[in-house]
Amino acid sequence: MLAFSGVSPGVARLYFLLTLPALLALFITWIVFNPVPGKVTLLQLPIYAGQLVIGLAPWQAILLVIVVGYFLWTRRLFLGIVVGIAIAFVFAQSVHLPELRIAQVAFFHPLALLVSDQGLLVAVTKTIGYAGMIIVSIALVMTARDVELIGALRQLHCPQAVIFFLSTVFRSLDLALSDYETIRQAQITRAIATRPRSFIRRLRDLASTAVPLVAIMIRRSAEIGDALLARGYTLGRPMADFYESSPWRLIDWGVAVLCLLLLYFALGPHPAVTTLL
Amino acid sequence: MSLVIDGLWWRYPTFSEKSSPWVLRGIDLEIEPGECFGITGPSGAGKTTLCRAMLGAIPYSSRLTPEQLPQHFRGTITAAGEPVTARTPATNRVGMVLQDPENQFLRMSLLHELGLGLQIQGLPTEEILQRAYASLCSVGLEQLWHGAAYLHPADLSGGEKQRVAIASFLAMRPQVLLLDEPTSDLDPPGKREVIETIARLRKDYQMTVVLVEQDPDILSAFCDRIALLNEGHIELVAPPHDFYAERALLERCGASVGELTSISWLTGYTYHARPPLTLEEGEIAFAGFVHTQAGQPEERSLHDAPFTDTGKGSSVARPDIAVSAGASGSRDTVKQEPIVTAADTWYNYEDGTVALQGVDLTLHRGEILALLGPNGSGKSTLAKILAGIYRPTRGRVLVQGQDLASRKVRARLPASVGYVFQNPDHQLFRRKVSDEVEYGLINLGIEPAQRRKAVNAALEVAGLTQYANEDPLFLGKGQRQRLAVAAVLAMGPEIVIVDEPTTGQDYNMVKGIMSLLRDLHRQGKTILVITHDMSLVAEHCQRVVTFRDGKRVFTGTPAELFQDEVTLNRAGLRPPPAAALSVRLRAKHPDLPFLLTVGQWVEALEPKKDE
């Protein structure tokens, strides 16, 4: 759809980068946190016994040594913590050394990773459902012009102030994206890419775009306010419809009925379609 | 009277106990129906505030209580016979076009933008369509009507957006139209489009127009009278020919004057005892130069009495003549060593736009080169390639011998190529001036002691030492621009690229920035300037490269460019008045020398001392 829609490759890449990891994360989360017994158990692994153990263990010492050593060597923390946790985890699982237990506290309930055929089916169904929602949203955003979206709100009898506010937001977003692009270019000319940057440093560089972006948007909003005033706009003043809304057609009614039907299947007397299988 | 302002005082409300200074002080103005009234003055004089007051935005949008109002607002304003009140903007008696074409394009399609004001008025669809079409035709954009419902603001140029703004107000049929620096942010073709539209408005609608402008050529061409606003006061109101005769006052207030006016002030040659404002008048005023150069005794007509300064004690001073190439050849010995070479450079944006098509460019060490051309011609794209922001799609670009195809080379480029963006607000990342200058140095990994030295040196060069602890966001626009230059300079680049340094700036700011760039040039820096200001090019640049539609169409000296009418037309450029007058005179007297700048004219027109 994206390839044939005429969308620019950069925008298409962005959509993939945002949606695919989100869907994958959703799938994994559903599997892990919603164990569903089925006919075939593919994986069963206790993860958490339902108790917190407070004490001293060799893996803690290993973690501390790795983190502190990495910091002293490179003056950085993040990678050291990640590597330290990974090594400490593997060590704790593979080498069983004596521990000193000080206390044991019951906390939450035991967790086990259970992957069954039924669980997989439910996770896939949920993920497909959300993916459908995302794809429909993307399709709507990419095929509907801003004026059409505003027109839809008008036909739904949204308050005039809300409609106009959203219309101004759409226009301002356009300007904000353009300003952001220039600000990132300005950062490049101030040598942010000259030396290798840690993840934290990259986040800080991203955060520092907030100062010029907010400053520019404040200046713009003052001028936009003047421009609105010059057109005679005041809050609460109704505006005539002008090529924004359109009369309902047969296809509009058809889609509305289909949506209501799907809503019925989702919330009506058959809440879980998968139980029909 | 179309607009009457009587005893207007205004100051902006503050959130602290301390009152803000008065922005408008005792303004009295009477503007006649159908008049084109110009307002000029330095930045911060109160021009935009005055426009907002005429619109009715001030004081009514400030939410002052009846008790607070007299402490902030005094006087009366009457527009089209009725007092300006909070309801005035809604009546559409007064319309206002702002400086930035982007901020006033409020909808996402041309059709809806044209109809916005009429939608707010609650007019029926048919009438909105009718008026929108008529107004679009009035501004010469009828060709856009068929696709108007689908044309996005990004599809329109700056000049087109400004004309659409004017059209959207025309559709509302105001009696007074305020234009607040409508051409400042536009390229030369855009400026011309808007100017032609304003001329059409006056001719077809007899509308009262209040035009706020810095450009003296526009003011003198269109305005019946011009007001000089300085520090909230109206210092002078006069027709253009009398206005530009007030040398002492205009110099004291820092108002921009045309090149012909400057030449007249400095040499004493006049047209009917006043400075010439047009090329025709200049031909007559400086006729003495022609006779002198042609070997004939100088015959000064009765009209060419020496200019008598009506100001207080100002002397006729030589201008600060910048070293430039001019027609007489380069006065500066530019080292011919190339510091940048671009060969067959192409660049395609992600949406498929081909911004550069096989451009070749050489930048020599120590020169000041200007990149000229209309918006969208590729000048900024090439400059950003040279700064390492973009990677060329095709071709070879070497900066100090290093190929920019390498990501590592591009990443290290900020230490040798500095880029100053047009809007200083895009490049201010810190909340303290000294921190801002230090930002790039930290990114380069410079040691703290060295950083402090570099910061102090950069602030001193930019004249901002006393503002080191200030918040950049609270500095004036000229100061922010200087800060942006300082922040780039601190990184020690050998090449400095400056993107439209004088756009939207007043005379003093332009002088300040150009003085700074000249100082940098004297220190040996190589400067690349992207500009639409032809006077700047004539005064300061040794060479120019002109672009059109992504291709290089000219490279040479400013003198060569301004005498090449074909290239000028192709690139949509016009020579500055001094050069244009020289071209005009040389068309009739080919043996006259070509005079590029005000300084060269002054030298040529002064009596020769050895005769």
DSSP characters over B96-156: EE-S-TTTT--SSSHHHHHHHHHHHHT--HHHHHHHHHHHHHHTT-GGGSTTTTT--GGGS
Residues of chain B in contact with residue A188, where contact means CB-CB under 8 angstroms, are: 387-389, 414
Burial code (b: 16+ CB inside 10 Å, e: under 16) for B105-124 equals bbbbbbbbbbbbbbbbbebe
Which residue from B minimizes the CA distance to A204?
Answer: B429
Chain A residues whose CB is inside 8 A of the B428 CB are 211-212, 215
B27, B8 contact by CB (below 8 A) = yes
Q: Which residues of A touch B350 (CB under 8 A)?
A: 8-10
| Closest CA–CA distance from residue A176 to any residue of chain B (Å) | 11
Angle at the Cα of A245 from the Cα atoms of A244 and A251, rounded to 5 degrees: 135
User: What per-residue confidence (pLDDT) applies to B309?
Assistant: 35
Q: For chain B, report the end-to-end CA distance as a whole number of angstroms.
A: 57
To the nearest whole angstrom, how far is the Cα of A81 from the nearest Cα of chain B? Answer: 25
The pLDDT, as a whole number, for residue B433 is 95
pLDDT (0 to 100) of residue B308: 34
User: pLDDT-derived band of residue B421, with 50, 70 and 90 as boundaries?
Assistant: very high
Tokens of A235: 């809050």
Smallest Cα distance from A157 to chain B, Å:
17
Q: In this structure, how many other beta carbons lie within 10 angstroms of the beta carbon of residue B167?
A: 25
What is the average per-residue pLDDT within B225-236? 94
Pick from A231, A233, A237, A246 the residue to mutate for testing the B interface (most B CBs within 10 Å): A231
B226 half-sphere exposure, CB direction, 13 A CA radius? 28
Q: Which residues from B are below 8 Å from A151, CB to CB?
A: none
Cβ atoms of B580 and B562 within 8 Å: the answer is yes
Of B298-307, B423-432, B590-599, the poorest mean pLDDT is in B298-307
CB contact under 8 A, A190 and B118: no
What tokens appear for B277 in the block? 């404002």
Check pLDDT > 70 for residue B305. no
Please, what's the b/e burial string for B271-297 (b: 16 or more CB within 10 A of its CB; e: otherwise)?
Answer: beebbbbbeebbbbbbbbbbebbeeee
**Residue B311 above 60 pLDDT?**
no
> What mean pLDDT, rounded, does chain B reach?
86
For residue B462, the distance in angstroms to the closest alpha carbon of chain A comes to 17
Whether residue A195 and residue B444 make contact (CB cut-off 8 A), yes or no, is yes
Higher pLDDT, B185 or B459: B459
State pLDDT tens for residues B117-137: 999 888 999 999 999 999 999
Q: Which residue of B has its CA nearest to A166?
A: B107
Mean pLDDT for B198-222 is: 87
Q: Could you say which of B125, B172, B429 has the minimum Cβ distance to residue A242?
A: B125
| Below-50 pLDDT ranges, chain A | none
Q: What is the pLDDT of residue B323?
A: 33
CA distances A243 to A150, A221, A240, B107, B149, Å, are 10, 26, 10, 13, 9
Look at B429 and A195 and tell me if their CB atoms are within 8 Å: no
- Residues A72-96 pLDDT 10s: 998 888 899 999 999 998 988 888 8
- Integer Cα distance of B510 and A169 in angstroms: 35
Whether residue B553 is predicted with pLDDT greater than 90 in this model: the reply is: yes
CB distance A57 to A102 below 8 Å: no
Kindly indicate the confidence band of residue B310, based on its pLDDT and cuts at 50, 70 and 90.
very low
Q: What crossing angle do the helices spanning B507-522 and B448-462 adopt, rounded to 10°?
A: 130
What's the pLDDT score for residue B301? 37
Rounding to the nearest 10 degrees, give the CA dihedral for residues B93, B97, B103, B109.
70
| Beta carbons within 8 Å of B10's beta carbon, 6+ residues apart | B22, B23, B24, B49, B53, B58, B59, B72, B73, B74
Average pLDDT over residues B416-433: 93
Quick: pLDDT tens for B66-122. Answer: 888 888 999 999 988 889 888 888 787 888 998 888 888 888 889 999 999 999 888
% of chain B residues with pLDDT over 90: 57
Listed range (A209-213, B318-322, B579-583) with the worst mean pLDDT: B318-322
Instruction: Report the 10 Å Cβ neighbour count for B449.
Output: 8
**Disruptive mutation site among A149, A183, A187, A189 for chain B (greatest number of B CBs within 10 Å):** A189
**What is the average per-residue pLDDT within B245-255?**
92
- Comparing alpha-carbon positions, the chain A residue that sits nearest to B173 is A231
CB of B361 closer than 8 Å to CB of B404: no
Contact predicate A142/A86, CB 8 Å: no
- Tokens 């609270």 appear where? B474
Q: Do A174 and B154 touch (CB under 8 A)?
A: yes
pLDDT surpasses 50 at B605: yes
Judged on CB neighbours under 10 Å (0-12, 13-18, 19+), B88 is buried
Among partner residues B410, B419, B427, which is closest to A212 by beta-carbon distance?
B427
pLDDT for B107 equals 87
Angle at B355 between CA B349 and CA B358, to 5 degrees: 120
Asked if the Cβ–Cβ distance from A147 to B109 is below 8 Å, we say yes
Give the CA distances from residue A139 to residues A132, B400, B584, in Å, rounded to whole numbers and listed in that order: 10, 48, 60
Average pLDDT over residues B188-211: 84
Please work out, in degrees rounded to the nearest 5, the angle formed at the alpha carbon of residue A14 by the alpha carbons of A12 and A17. 110
Q: Are B519 and B442 in contact (CB under 8 A)?
A: no
Tell me what pLDDT residue B298 has.
Answer: 43
Of the candidates B104, B149, B487, the beta carbon closest to that of A243 is on B149
Distances (CA, A) of B250 to B210, B258, B263: 20, 12, 15
Higher pLDDT, B480 or A145: B480
Cα A6 to Cα A3, A108, B156, B242, B278: the distances in Å are: 7, 51, 20, 59, 51
B345-402 pLDDT, tens digit per residue, is 999 988 788 999 999 999 999 999 999 998 889 999 999 999 999 999 999 999 999 9
d(CA B583, CA A7): 50
Q: Is A270 buried (19+), middle (13-18) or exposed (0-12) by CB count in 10 A?
A: exposed
Chain A residue closest to B417 (CA)? A189
- How many other C-beta atoms are found inside a 10 Å radius of the C-beta of residue B515? 13
Q: Hey, what are A47's tokens? A: 């993860």
From the candidates A194, A216, A235, which should be mutated to test the interface with B, based on the most B CB atoms within 10 A?
A194
Longest dimension (CA), chain A: 79
Complex ipTM, two decimals?
0.85
Task: Give the pLDDT mean for B315-334.
Answer: 38
pLDDT value at residue B327: 36
User: Nearest chain B Cα to A175, which residue?
Assistant: B102
Least confident of A189-193, B145-149, B297-301: B297-301
**Pairwise CB contact (< 8 Å): B427 & A186:** yes
Give B280's contacts (C-beta < 8 A, 6+ positions apart): none
Vertex B458, ends B454 and B460: CA angle to 5°? 120
What pLDDT does B295 receive?
A: 52
Distance CA B177, CA B79 (A): 11
Q: Tokens at residue B238, please?
A: 């006069």
Does residue B312 register a pLDDT over 80? no
Nearest to B119 among A219, A225, A242 (CB): A242
d(CA A160, CA A163): 5
Distance CA B261, CA B275 (A): 5
